[in-house]
Amino acid sequence: MFNKLKRQAAISFCATISCAAMAQATTLEFTVTNTAALGGFAFSPMYLAFHDGSFDAFDAGTAASPGLETIAETGFANGLNAERVAADPDSDRLFVLGPDFPPRPVFVPGESVTAQFDVDGAVNRFLSYFSMLTPTNDTFMGNDDPQAIALFDDLGIFQGDRVITISRADMWDAGTEVNDTSATGGSADLDGANTAEGTAENGVIHAIEDLSEFAGKLTDFAGFDGNQYVISDGILNDPDPFVGATISIRQVPAVPLPAAGLLGLTGLALLGGLRRMRRKS
């Protein structure tokens, strides 16, 4: 009888430990950095989506969804967030705001923010990122392939620390608003421009070709914190400064369960075994 009790208690204890390990999410640390040269473009808060690979936010050559149009033209991610939930209800998200928020939410060149987030790799293997390049009309950064960035393998095991480099190849024109730097052109964060205006393009998503019309223009973050600077001509022709951002990802070491906690789990397992034995007797 005693040996049987020990075996059942051991099984219960192992099951308890296994379930706890399986249910524990992986804590990851994300560092978002605007790596553009001085006078380069800023970008809106970085929207990070963690999903099972089914959240395909956009495809080059097709029309942008309403949610993607909104983040590409204004930097707001509410619509895209709703589309993510509709595509993958078990997905999750992290919204990384600039270091000077409040009041200014955007990242200007040289700025960086680090945030930690718990990700269940058994459910959400993949990462997608989105942010508006500003000042522009509808230029955004994002990964076209929803399964291009696998943070975890198919068993939910983290695949290691990494740095995602966001270059010109990851910058897109949403095809939703005509590029226009005039006062009525609708460019976001451009001095003298009204973001609420602008001309609908009714086009498709395509790789950025030329942003030279923004050269020499004055940014307008004055409504936030008075930060203003002139967009440099040089960054528009030299591809190197068009590495506009990086996302550094590292795993935060798990805090070991104290010995008292292990003893507590053992006690619970033994108690469960004893109760089952009593019911059977």
Q: CA-to-CA distance for 252 and 255, rounded, in angstroms?
A: 9
Output 221 or 267, whichever has higher pLDDT: 221
Q: CA-to-CA distance for 231 and 188, rounded, in angstroms?
A: 14
pLDDT in tens, 49-72: 999 999 999 999 999 999 999 999
Average pLDDT of 150-164?
A: 98
Model confidence band, residue 151 (pLDDT cutoffs 50, 70, 90): very high
* Residue whose pair of structure tokens reads 């939910």 in the numeric block: 156
Model confidence band, residue 256 (pLDDT cutoffs 50, 70, 90): confident
Average pLDDT of 136-156?
A: 97
Q: CA-to-CA distance for 119 and 101, rounded, in angstroms?
A: 24
Cβ 164 vs Cβ 247: under 8 Å: yes
Examine the pLDDT at 37 and tell me if it is beyond 60.
yes
Examine the pLDDT at 9 and tell me if it is beyond 90.
no
Partnered with residue 247 across adjacent β-strands are 32, 164
Examine the pLDDT at 21 and tell me if it is beyond 70.
no
Q: CA-to-CA distance for 241 and 134, rounded, in angstroms?
A: 15
In the numeric block, which tokens belong to residue 157? Answer: 């095991």
Q: CA dihedral in degrees (67, 69, 73, 77; nearest 10)? A: 10
Cβ 216 vs Cβ 233: under 8 Å: yes
Examine the pLDDT at 4 and tell me if it is beyond 50.
no
At 177, phi and psi to the nearest 5? Answer: -145, 135
pLDDT in tens, 162-200: 999 998 889 999 999 998 888 888 888 887 777 778 899
Phi-psi region of 110 (alpha: psi -120 to 50; beta: other; left: phi over 0): left
Q: In whole angstroms, how large is the CA radius of gyration of the chain?
A: 24
Examine the pLDDT at 259 and tell me if it is beyond 50.
yes
User: Mean pLDDT for the chain?
Assistant: 82
- Cα–Cα distances in angstroms (integers) from residue 189 to residues 26, 47, 58, 246, 252, in the given order: 37, 19, 24, 22, 36
Fold category of 30-253 in CATH: Immunoglobulin-like (2.60.40)
pLDDT in tens, 78-107: 999 999 999 999 999 999 999 988 888 999
Average pLDDT of 131-153?
A: 96
